[in-house]
Amino acid sequence: MGRILLAVGIGVLLVSGAIACSQGVKAAKKVGDLEIYDPFARASHEEGAVYMAFRNTGDDDDSIIAASSPVANKVELHNTVALQGGGMRMTPVERIPLPKRAWVALSPGGYHIMLVDLKEELKAGQKITVTIRFERAGSVTLEVPVVELMEEGGH
C-alpha cells in the first residue's frame, strides 16, 4: 500500500509539473526538441533511481537510449511491470520512448533510470551528475538533486 501511495504521489507531482510547464514554467534543460523538467534522484545506499518529466515538442519521435553517471558502476534504463497474480518487477529496457508532441514521466512504478552498484551513498541534499543520450536529440548532462522519499512503513 505504501509503494502505491508513493507512486501516486510522485505521479501527481509530475502531472502538476507538466501542467505548470504548459503554463509557462521554464524547463530545467532543453536539448533538440526535448524539454526536461524536475529531475531528481532517490536517496539510497545500494541502488538509486532517477526520475524526471520530458516534453517532446517536435514532429518526430525520440527515445532515451542510454544514461551514465559517475556515482554508479552501471546505469540502466528500466520499466516497472505488473506481474500476473500481483506484485511488480523492474526490468531493463533498451530504450524509453519519447513520442512526438507528448509528455513522458519517468516515475516510481514506471520508466526510470536505474543507478546500479553505487560507488557512494546518495544522500538527500546532494546533487549528482547524470548524462542522458537520446536517439535523435544527442545528449545532455544534468545536475540532479537527491531527495528522501518515504518507503513502505514510513521509512
Per-residue pLDDT of the chain (155 residues; tens, 9 = 90+): 444 444 444 454 444 444 444 445 678 899 999 999 999 999 999 899 999 999 999 999 999 999 999 999 999 999 998 888 888 899 999 999 999 999 999 999 999 999 999 999 999 999 999 999 999 999 999 999 999 976 543 33
Q: What per-residue confidence (pLDDT) applies to 94?
A: 98
List the one residue out of 129, 132, 141 whose CA is nearest residue 112. 132
Q: What per-residue confidence (pLDDT) applies to 150?
A: 67
For residues 73 and 54, the answer to whether their CB atoms sit within 8 Å is: no
Q: What per-residue confidence (pLDDT) applies to 153?
A: 39
Can you tell me the distance from the alpha carbon of 55 to that of 109, in angstroms, rounded to the nearest whole number?
19
Q: What per-residue confidence (pLDDT) applies to 152?
A: 47
Q: Which domains does the chain have, with CATH numbers?
A: 2-150 (2.60.40.1890)
